[in-house]
Amino acid sequence: MGLARTLAVTLTGLAGHIVEVEAHAAQGLPGFTLVGLPDAAVRESRERVRAALSTCGVTWGEQRLTVNLSPADLRKTGTGLDLALALAVLGARGRLGRSAAGLLGRTVYIGELGLDGSVHSVRGVLPSVQAAVAAGIEEIVVAQEAAAEAELVPGARVTAVRHVGQLVERYGGRLSAAVAAALEQVTEAATDDAPTTPPQDAEQPDLADVVGQSEARQALEVAAAGGHHLIMVGPPGTGKTMLAERLPSILPPLEQADAVTVTSLHSVAGIFDPARGLITRPPLRAPHHTATRAAVVGGGSGLPRPGDVSLAHRGVLFLDEAPEFSAGVLDCLRQPLESGAVTIDRVGGRASYPAAFQLVLAANPCPCGKSGGRGLECTCTSLQRRRYFSRLSGPLLDRVDIQVEVGAVSAADLASTGHGESSVEVARRVLRARRAAERRLAGTPWRLNAEVPGSYLRGPDGGLSAPLSRRLMTALERGDLSLRGVDRVLRLAWTLADLEGLDTLSLAHIGTALALRTSGVRP
């Protein structure tokens, strides 16, 4: 009879949970029983482990194996438990050295096993290693291709392996001559794979490429400085997409905590390239208008995966041709726009992901796109225009701070030899404005003007004087603004003041904010 314990990690959203893998070997009818709420992928690990260990010359023999995944009331998901399970079985079978028992119990193993014993990377290595280090476990074993990602976590002592046989030898186990020779070949092949130069980030689009559109450029700068949501309405070819794609280029780099969170989200989604290191630039996500709710918000079979709203965390979510998206998809954005997070419930479980993004919408003025253009005649009826914009519901548009009309580019703008300001120049002003907001909001839980609640802005510490309040109340009484709109105008006004380097609001700031808020969407 033998008993062995190893450690692994299972993820629920971005939250990692330490799993103790206990393997018990006893005399009896040969069998393998896996308990502890494993999902289908974990249950299938039995066959992967059996084949992998057979490759290493280890068979079940005349023993009954029982493996428990503790805590037993937590659902275990994914294939990352394979490596821990295999080592627990080896320890229970007495195929490892005596000194291995202590090492197994204080090391986290993350990896999927191939039938030949090879160790493969899995999704979510970064948040898994973070969870292990947070739990006080610093010894981490991962697949070779996941080593760079695991080493991004401070305090983690990472060991990278390509084959489970490497761990068998390290822990005092014996391999047959044939297996040892095959393992040596694997190691040599890995050595021959010379490390390539890390890929360079593609050059970001520059705002200087945009011809004309001074008003839209100004609106983009205000949106970047305060973290505000934006909608642009204009005929085709006026530069709406170009402007939206250049918004990340004028945003400040991500802070360390945000960079780790964004990288973890991309790791869980399986789209992170460890060779590039931490994601330090604000991400841009631009789903096609045929995208489903699960693709945009998150979901899928089994444990929910993050969608575009989470992958755009601390960055930009750009919906081009916004009225072409289904109304259901657009309305699903309302909750994360308010809370900065999304919770997804599925049969496989519940997962919560951060979703603090800037929303940028682009739309034509009508279905044919000719309304508002020079020398073009619109063929749409008023009913068609109303139907076109009806998917952009009032509650959604009420959450968009800036609404701007993008006019057609003139021949004079196109013939101009001068270029507009570059993204670098605009980014400097945006950074200064954000620093000013941080100084003003010091001692509060908020960093951006877009995050400040209306109760604070309208309160004694919000800097709202009586004349400014009367101006806003007039707009509220006329029906130009809702109560949420009043708060968002105040946020815009403070962003304008920060861009000018001022510590107080003026009527000019309120007037400009009202214009930015109410002048865009006119179906």
Quote the percentage of the chain above a pLDDT of 70.
90
pLDDT per residue as tens digits for the range 5-22: 999 999 988 899 999 999
Question: If pLDDT is split at 50, 70 and 90, which confidence band does 214 have?
Answer: confident
Distance CA 268, CA 264 (A): 6
207-444 under CATH 3.40.50.300, yes or no: yes
pLDDT per residue as tens digits for the range 268-307: 998 998 888 899 999 999 999 999 998 999 887 767 889 9
Q: Which fold has domain 2-192?
A: Ribosomal Protein S5; domain 2 (3.30.230)
Average pLDDT, the chain: 86
- Strand 63-70 relative to strand 15-27: parallel, antiparallel, unpaired? antiparallel
Residue 188 token pair: 């040599």
Domain ranges of the chain: 2-192, 207-444
The structure's pTM equals 0.87
Vertex 128: Cα angle to 123 and 133 (nearest 5): 155
Is pLDDT above 90 for 178?
Answer: no
Helical residues (DSSP H) of 177-304, grouped into ranges: 177-192, 214-226, 240-245, 256-269, 293-297
Q: pLDDT value at position 200?
A: 53
How many CA atoms are closer than 13 Å to the CA of 392, on its beta-carbon side? 29
pLDDT per residue as tens digits for the range 447-479: 899 999 988 888 888 888 888 888 888 888 887
